Amino acid sequence: GESVGLHLPTLSVQEGDNSIINCAYSNSASDYFIWYKQESGKGPQFIIDIRSNMDKRQGQRVTVLLNKTVKHLSLQIAATQPGDSAVYFCAENILPGGGYNKLIFGAGTRLAVHP
């Protein structure tokens, strides 16, 4: 069946260190992956996305890596700041047909940044 899962449920890092959050997916039909950040009591916030014809994409302080061979996705956050503390979800975008897309979310990783 379809599934998107994460290796680590929690991640604690020191302020200023780099963070890496990992995600495994099983639906090889998807061509689009998204990372979301969710702060307590708020909706998911788009961070970065990547299409399957790429293996790396960089944003401001964030990089997403995609390894289609092993169906693995990662989010790297450089110089992690206290404001980065949140739950991070990877999501796999699939196209069931009918003109819409459907997001399947992974279980989430809580990132805790310590001063």
If one asks whether residue 32 binds other proteins (CB under 8 A), the answer comes out as yes
- Compute the distance between CA of residue 27 and CA of residue 6 in angstroms, rounded to an integer: 14
CB contact at 8 A, 19 and 84: yes
Query: Does 1 participate in binding other proteins (rule CB under 8 A)?
Result: no
Interface with other proteins (CB under 8 A), residue total 23
Nearest one of 15, 43, 10 to 115, comparing CA atoms: 15
Q: Considering the rule CB under 8 A, would residue 98 count as an interface residue with other proteins?
A: yes
Report the b/e string of 84-105 with b at 16+ CB within 10 A: bbbbbbbbbbbeeeeeeeebbe
Minimum Å gap between C-beta 63 and other proteins is 18
**Nearest distance from residue 25's CB to other proteins, in Å?**
13
**Near other proteins by CB under 8 A, which window of 14-22, 35-43, 55-63, 78-86?**
35-43
Q: Which of 82, 101, 112, 114 binds other proteins (CB under 8 A)?
A: 101
Task: Answer yes or no: are the C-beta atoms of 61 and 83 closer than 8 Å.
Answer: no
In the complex, the residues that contact other proteins under the rule CB under 8 A are 32, 34, 36, 41-46, 49, 89, 93, 95, 98-103, 105-108
